[in-house]
Amino acid sequence: MADLLAHELRTPIGVVTSAAKLLVQHIDDFDDEARDRMLDVISRNAETAAVLLDRLGRLRDVSLDDVQLQVDRLDVLALVRETVQDLSDSLLVEHPWSVEATGGVQACADAVAVREVLVNLLRNAATHSPDGGPIELIVAIDGPDAIVTVRDHGPGIAPEVRARVFEPFVQLDTSRAGVGLGLYISRGLVTAHGGDIAVADVPGGGTEFRVRLPRRGPGSNGASE
C-alpha cells in the first residue's frame, strides 16, 4: 500500500512543489494573470492529491475492485490540454508535446480518475522515450466512445512484456525506478468507467496507449455531443 500511495501521489505533489517554488522565486516577475494561473495549477493538483489519498486509503492491497467514481459530463479535450500544460514544467520538461483533436470531445467520466490515467500514461511515455523525444496526444470520437491516444517514439515494448503490461508490478524497464503499478491502475480506472485501454506499437518505433471512454452514461438514450 505504501508503494501504491507513493506512486500515485508523487506527480501531483511534484507539480505543486515545482509551481510553488517557481511562484516564490519569481513572484515579482509575474503579472496578475500569470500568478492566478500558477495558483490554479497548485490548487488543482492539491485537490487531485487529496482525492487520490482518500481513494487509495480505502483500497486493500492493490485491488481496484471497489473504485468509487464521481461521474459527470467531462470535456475530455480540455482536460487533456490542462493536464499536459500542468506537467510541461516538470514531467514533460524535456519532451516536446502536442495535442491533436478534430473538435470538442466529451465523455461521461470522473475527471480526477481520467487525469490520473493521463498522468500515468504521460509518465510512462516520458520515462521510456529517448531524451527530448516527442510525445503526441490525439483526442477523437469513435461512435459511442471518446478516444485519447498517448504516443511516444521510444524503443517500444517487447512482445513478451506487452502481453502482461497491465498486470500489477510489471515494469517495462527494470533498470529504471518504479513499482510497476501505473498501467495496472490506469486499466482499473478505465474499466470502472465501462471503457477500455489498449497498447500497440507505433510504425517506425514507439508505443501508443489508446483509452476509450463512454460518451454517455448508463441509461442514456444517445451519445453526448
Residue 208 lies in a domain: yes
Question: Does the residue 225 lie in any domain?
Answer: no
Say if residue 97's pLDDT is above 90: yes
Among 44-48, 60-64, 186-190, which range has the highest average pLDDT? 186-190
* Confidence label for 179 from pLDDT (cuts 50, 70 and 90): very low
**C-alpha triplet 73, 98, 44: angle, nearest 5°:** 45
The whole-number average pLDDT for the span 20-35 is 82
Regarding beta strands 196-201 and 207-214, do their DSSP bridges make them parallel or antiparallel, or are they unpaired?
Answer: antiparallel
Lowest-confidence region among 44-48, 109-113, 139-143, 162-166: 44-48
Q: Which domain holds residue 126?
A: 2-214
> How many independent structural domains does the chain possess?
1
Confidence check: pLDDT of 6 > 50: yes
The more confident residue out of 89 and 5 is 89
Confidence of residue 82 (pLDDT cuts 50, 70, 90): very high
- What's the pLDDT at 185? 85
Domain for residue 147, yes or no? yes
- Whether 98 is in a domain gets the answer yes
Q: Is the pLDDT of residue 191 over 90?
A: yes
- Residue 223 in domain: no
Report the C-alpha gap between 75 and 108 in whole angstroms: 9
224 belongs to a structural domain: no
Confidence of residue 54 (pLDDT cuts 50, 70, 90): low
The pair phi, psi for residue 214, each rounded to 5°, is -65, 140
DSSP conformation class of 64 = -
**CATH code of residue 185:** 3.30.565.10
Per the domain annotation, does 123 fall within a domain? yes
Q: What's the pTM?
A: 0.73
Instruction: Please state, in angstroms and rounded to a whole number, the distance separating the CA atoms of residues 191 and 64.
Output: 10
Report if residue 161 sits inside a domain: yes
Per-residue pLDDT band for 1 (boundaries 50, 70, 90) equals very low
Q: Which residue(s) pair with 100 in the sheet?
A: 138
